[in-house]
């Protein structure tokens, strides 16, 4: 990673960490932040489980086991964020009731991610399917995301107000950060098993550069919208959210 990219990485990461922490701290934006996190964590479970099945079929039982643990963690993380919403009497919107386009015909913003569009620029949706994705692409790109997320979640947890209502959520988010660190470790090991050190470092540099560009795209989109994000929540608590946060965060 060249010097300019390193500088942009610091700027982009700092801006993202600030926005995430601010949105978690602010009671007005916290529901949307929790909803986005719940959707991201829950949405990754089927993908990881499909990769687990592929790794098993290919005879890589070590990776299959790691992917199963990863999927289990993501499912638990989604529950933590769902319970955070439950405390606020909120739940994620039902996208089945949300039109694909707005009244003026433009795509609904809640169905796209400027960050991931930039991060995986050049890869088609077909390329990214579990059956097709190159293992190096999956491992390296996910390693960068998990490593950085482990730090971002700590900042978000520490940004929560120091009150009784936030205590369990803070505990849960800190446990998520610990899991993300563990995920990054197994992904780094998986990369070492497939590539010589120099090649592994080069691949990670490539994905770090992609992450920088994706962060800048996300921050730019955020600024263009005046810091306003589309609503991802609705009133009420889903029936399936029944576990206590103490149980989940334990």
What pLDDT score was predicted for residue 225? Answer: 65
> Is residue 167 a part of any domain in this protein?
yes
What pLDDT score was predicted for residue 96? Answer: 67
**148, 140 contact by CB (below 8 A):** no
Count of H-run helices and E-run strands, the chain: 8, 2
3-state secondary structure of 235: strand
**42, 240 contact by CB (below 8 A):** no
CA angle 44, 195, 148 (to 5 degrees): 40
Between CA 121 and CA 101 the distance in angstroms is: 23
What pLDDT score was predicted for residue 112? Answer: 65
> Is residue 102 a part of any domain in this protein?
no
3-state secondary structure of 1: coil
3-state secondary structure of 16: helix
The domain total for the chain is 1
Its domain, for residue 74, covers 3-96+116-249
> Is residue 208 a part of any domain in this protein?
yes
> Is residue 62 a part of any domain in this protein?
yes
> Is residue 103 a part of any domain in this protein?
no
What pLDDT score was predicted for residue 247? Answer: 45
Domain of residue 142, CATH code: 1.20.910
- Percent composition of the chain: helix, strand, coil (DSSP 3-state, to 5): 70, 5, 25
What pLDDT score was predicted for residue 244? Answer: 44
> Is residue 106 a part of any domain in this protein?
no
3-state secondary structure of 91: strand
> Is residue 109 a part of any domain in this protein?
no
DSSP 222-239: HHHTTT-----EEES--T
What is the helix (H) or strand (E) element at residue 71, kind and residue range? helix 61-87
CA angle 211, 214, 215 (to 5 degrees): 85
Between CA 82 and CA 17 the distance in angstroms is: 21
- Per-block average pLDDT, block size 10, for the chain (250 residues)? 48 60 89 93 96 98 98 98 94 71 54 83 96 98 96 94 92 97 98 97 96 84 67 73 44
**With the CA atoms of 152, 36, 144 and 188 taken in that order, what torsion angle do they form, in degrees rounded to the nearest 10?**
100
What pLDDT score was predicted for residue 69? Answer: 98
Between CA 83 and CA 90 the distance in angstroms is: 9
- Cα Rg of the chain (Å, integer): 18
> Is residue 104 a part of any domain in this protein?
no
Tokens of 90: 């909120």
3-state secondary structure of 92: strand
The answer for residues whose C-beta is within 8 angstroms of residue 212's C-beta and 6 or more apart is 5, 8, 9, 12
């Amino acid at each position: 990673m060249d010097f300019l990219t390193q500088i942009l990485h610091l700027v982009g990461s700092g801006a993202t960490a600030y926005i995430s922490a601010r949105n978690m701290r602010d009671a007005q934006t916290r529901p949307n932040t929790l909803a986005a996190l719940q959707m991201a964590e829950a949405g990754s479970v089927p993908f990881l489980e499909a990769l687990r099945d592929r790794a098993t079929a290919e005879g890589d039982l070590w990776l299959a086991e790691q992917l199963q643990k990863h999927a289990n963690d993501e499912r638990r993380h989604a529950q933590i964020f769902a319970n955070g919403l439950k405390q606020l009497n909120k739940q994620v919107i039902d996208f089945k009731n949300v039109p694909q386009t707005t009244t003026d015909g433009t795509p609904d913003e809640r169905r796209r991610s400027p960050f991931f569009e930039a991060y995986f620029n050049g890869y088609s949706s077909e390329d990214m399917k579990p059956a097709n994705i190159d293992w190096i692409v999956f491992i390296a790109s996910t390693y960068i995301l998990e490593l950085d997320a482990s730090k971002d979640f700590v900042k978000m947890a520490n940004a929560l107000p120091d009150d009784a209502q936030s205590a369990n959520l803070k505990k849960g988010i800190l446990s998520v950060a610990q899991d993300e660190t563990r995920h990054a470790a197994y992904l780094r090991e998986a990369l070492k098993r497939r590539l010589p050190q120099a090649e592994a470092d080069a691949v990670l540099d490539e994905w770090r550069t992609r992450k920088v560009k994706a962060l800048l795209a996300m921050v730019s989109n955020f600024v263009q919208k005046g810091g306003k994000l589309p609503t991802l929540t609705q009133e009420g608590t889903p029936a399936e959210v029944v576990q206590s946060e103490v149980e989940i965060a334990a």
